[in-house]
Every structure is written in C-alpha cells, then in structure tokens.
Amino acid sequence: MVLIFVAFGLLASAIVTNKILLYALSPELLVGVRMIVASFFLLLYSYFQPQHRISIALFKRYFSLLCIIALFTTFFPSNLKAYALAHMPSSKMAFFGTLDPFVAALGSYVLYNERLSIQKWLGLGIGFLGMLVLIFTSSPLEQSLRAFSVISYPEIAAFFAIVISRFGWILAQDLLKKNIVGPVQINILTMFMGGLLSLVVAFQRAQTTVIPLTHAPLTILTTPPLSLISPFNQLIGFLLYTIIMGNMLGYTLYAKVLKHYSATFIALSGFSIPLMVHLLGWLFLGEQLSFVFFCACGITFSGLLLFFFDERSSNIKSLQ
C-alpha cells in the first residue's frame, strides 16, 4: 500500500520540478533533453541486463510501428503536456491525468464498439463535469490564451495529450502482450525517438535558448539552500531529479504496482497525484490553494467511483 503512494509522490514531485524547469527551457527542449537522457540511462541499464537488450533485427522489423508508437506515447503527449504545464497551474495540468479512465472507456466504445451501461455514462458525465468546473477557473495567463468561450489552448493541449497517449498505449500494449518487446525496451525506443524529434523541433523553431533560473519568479530559488547554488547547477540538479525520480524510478515503481493492485484501485488512488501536486505547488511554486480545485476533484472522483462500481458489479455477475 505504501509503495503505490511513494510512486505517485515521485510522479507528483516530477511534475512540480518540470514546472520549474519550464521557466528556463522551452517545452520542446525540456522534453527532448529529458527523454534522450532518460533513454540513455535505461540503455545503460539494459547493457547490464541482457534480457532487456534491444534486438537490431526486431527494431528493423517493427520500425514503422515503433515510430508511430513513439509519436503517440511520447512526442505528442509529452510536448502537449509541457506546453500546458508552462501556461497553467501545475495541479490543474495534473488533474487532467485523472480523466484517463474515462478517455479509455470512450476509446473502447468508439474503436471496439464496447457497450457502456447507463451508470457508466452517468459516471463519465459527472467526471467531465468536474473538468468543466476547473476550466471555468482559468488563470490570467490561460485567459490570454483563450481559444473559444472559456476554454484555453493549454486546456485543449492537456486534454488531447491524454487522448493521444491512450491511443499510443493501445498500440504499445499489443506488442507487449505478444511479448514482442518488453516494457524497458519499448521505453528506451519511444523515449529516444520521441526525444530526438522534440530536439529537432526545438532547433527548427529556434527554441533552444536557456534562460537562467534566477529570472524565474520563485522564492524557493532565491532563498537558502538553493540560493547558494549557481543557476546552472540548479538547472542540472532539477533535470537529474525529474529524469531519475520521475522518468525512471517513479514509472518503474508504478509498473511494479500494476502487478499487485487492481486497475480500479490504481485509478482511484491516482487521484492523490493532483492533490499532492496542488500541495507541492503551493509550497514550492507559490501557487494558490483553491477550494474550487478540491470541489472539481470531488466531483470527478464521484464520477469515477460510480463508473468503477458498475464495472465491478458487471464482473461479479459474469462470474456467477
């Protein structure tokens, strides 16, 4: 039980760290550097673990499919999330991740014609109602980037990052279930390919300028002990933290947790991530605690409970 919240705590802290890094790096550059370095660390790990090494023949055979998977699991979602995170409160961006079970259900309905009960549709409706509540409380920066009505471009980016990522992982799961590649192998490949493309885009758009973190409006950087560290070393330290604790350790623990707990429990306990980010954002980023945020989380959590209780009841009936 403790392990699952350790994993979610690391992922939450990585989101806050990425928010700090986005004051210094463009979204494309941050994604590119983070993914390339993380894939290098994983490749180094696979060198000492022969069972995780990548077969050149397998890479050539599935190259086209792996490129598509890298685009939809890493390149598009990571860049959309980074753009959204740079332009909205960190906890709001994390909140969109809790909509993944609803997006997965809608994807199965559209792609595989899986039927949804009235209770599940009601759960979906309540879940997205929570999102709408949060959308109506936009920051001044989001309001300046409004696309239409009350919806901003960062909110659209955060939502479609979830949709695109879900489609990508459907493709990836097919390879994983057939044991064509393992989790470590597919992470190495998708992170490297997605990161490399992000760097190409960053250089093409001339988004490679590194702004010193001293320019960031964050009190944490100008008070001890961080004020005693040079801006360059601060940047390297934050990068290493988000790569090692977030990309590698956090997701490794998350994968381990998946083997021991049900998908329902993980989805429900996953609500701790935006709540942790909300607290960490208040402590380290100077973001405001929001009663509306907690209301939105409560509404969406209610929809998730309704959705999964119906699924559990259906599974019990099928076993009788």
Distance of CA 184 to the CA centre of its chain: 18
Give the integer Cα–Cα distance in Å for 229 and 216: 15
Total structural domains within the chain: 1
pTM above 0.75, yes or no: yes
Give the integer Cα–Cα distance in Å for 176 and 82: 27
Give the integer Cα–Cα distance in Å for 190 and 205: 22
Domain that holds residue 17: 2-319
Give the integer Cα–Cα distance in Å for 10 and 95: 16
Give the integer Cα–Cα distance in Å for 90 and 121: 29
> In whole numbers, what is the pLDDT of the chain averaged over residues?
86
Q: How confident is the model at residue 37 (pLDDT cuts 50, 70, 90)?
A: very high
Give the integer Cα–Cα distance in Å for 138 and 154: 10
pLDDT single digits (tens) 162-221? 999 888 888 888 887 777 888 888 888 999 999 999 999 999 998 888 998 888 888 888
pLDDT single digits (tens) 44-96? 988 888 777 777 887 888 889 999 999 999 999 999 999 999 999 999 999 99
